[in-house]
Amino acid sequence: MLDFTTITTAIDRFLHSALPDWAATLTECALVAVCVIAAYLVFAIVMIFMERKVCAAFQCRLGPTRVGFWGVLQVFADVFKMLIKEIIEIKDSDRILYNLAPFLVIMSSLITFSCLPFAEGLQVLDFNIGVFFIMAASSFGILGILLAGWSSSNKFSMIGAMRSGGQMISYELSMGLCILTLVVLSGTMQISEIVETQTRGWFIIRGHIPAIIAFIIYIIAGNAETNRAPFDLPEAESELTAGFHTEYSGMGFGLFYVAEFMNMFIISGIASTLFLGGWAPLYIPGLEGFNEAMCWIPGIVWFLGKTFFVIWLMMWIRWTFPRMRIDQVLVLEWKYLVPIGLLNLLIMTICVVMGWTF
């Protein structure tokens, strides 16, 4: 398979041969930052367009069709509209925290996005405690949501922020248990090694029943983490107008909007990395010719294909199930998902110790 390590190493050697070490390092950081932000924005545009078309398909509609061929320019028109909208200052808001909140949310999303392994050698951050870092980086986004609701001086925003805090903090526990289950199976917390281990079989197959249970719980918790239906209580328009970002306009609202879609991409990317092999191709023991043919497909194609499959599953859930009450949301987590996740973790540990995995 194509290994991007050779390309990045060649660029590094060229820059260090042409520039002083400090200038080469600074240039590399700038290039990486530009690439990450560009990829982030491109995927955000794709996600918004995909959401509208998938929603339309489930509701027997066509979705956007007028701006550009098949409506592909509708997202760009919306971005331009948002850029020229006036940013309204709320009279009684805490202006520092009010303006800081969207940046905390988008910063958390960007840092976590940088940890995704798009292909072999195509990963910005790869620590030996990568799984722990991803969980930590994704967790401080809730601070931005809480600050947005509290600083807006609006009762609807405050209620939405408190709902979001209770919901996201609760479901992070289930997500952590699912991720820990796969860490037990892989024996490492480094993302690149987790994917490398799956070149001889994806964990959702090798971990059999415990891995499948962990995947189902992860998808449910992922929907709750991104505040998507049926867990969209923090933004319930019929109750709270728009929840924690009711008082935001212009690009303040735009940052929340983009982060919500990209968080879904990140949740799906982590799922494809941990459960479906990331950039690793499909491997079937005994079919060496088939396995060799699968290796000709670039790793980035495998990763994006799996990620968008999980995204489609999450969109399917959103446009199928009705919104739950907040008490039902918390009962589902604490009475069902957490006990099942703990038991599943114990079963996976026993399977690994006894050698019952494939």
3-state SS string for 268-322: HHHHHHHCCCCCCCCCCCCCHHHHHHHHCCCHHHHHHHHHHHHHHHHHHHHCCCC
pLDDT digits (tens, 9 = 90+) for 224-245: 999 888 898 877 777 777 778 8
Domain-located, residue 243: yes
| Residue 339 exposed, middle or buried by CB count within 10 Å (0-12, 13-18, 19+) | exposed
Q: Do the Cβ atoms of 184 and 351 come closer than 8 Å?
A: no
Predicted pLDDT at 200? 87
Residue where the block lists tokens 């940890």:
115
The alpha-helical segments, DSSP class H, found in 125-241 are 130-139, 141-151, 155-186, 191-197, 203-206, 208-225, 237-240
Q: Do the Cβ atoms of 49 and 72 come closer than 8 Å?
A: yes
Q: Do the Cβ atoms of 230 and 16 come closer than 8 Å?
A: no
Domain-located, residue 3: no
3-state DSSP call for residue 146? helix
Predicted pLDDT at 23? 94
CA atoms of 166 and 61, how far apart (whole Å): 35
Domain-located, residue 342: yes
Residue where the block lists tokens 């200038």:
23
Predicted pLDDT at 1? 62
Domain-located, residue 124: yes
Please state the domain count of the chain.
1
Predicted pLDDT at 229? 81
Which pTM value belongs to this model? Answer: 0.94
Structural domain for 103, as ranges? 84-354
Domain-located, residue 17: no
Predicted pLDDT at 56? 94
Domain-located, residue 6: no
The helix (run of H) or strand (run of E) holding residue 347 is: helix 338-354
The helix (run of H) or strand (run of E) holding residue 65 is: none
Predicted pLDDT at 336? 96
The helix (run of H) or strand (run of E) holding residue 259 is: helix 250-274
Would you call the peptide bond into 234 cis, given omega within 30 degrees of 0 as the criterion?
no
Predicted pLDDT at 92? 82
Segment-wise mean pLDDT, segments of 10 residues, the chain, 358 residues: 84 92 93 94 94 93 90 91 83 88 93 94 89 91 90 88 88 94 94 92 92 96 90 78 83 89 95 95 88 91 96 93 89 96 96 86
DSSP one-letter code for 334: I
Domain-located, residue 268: yes
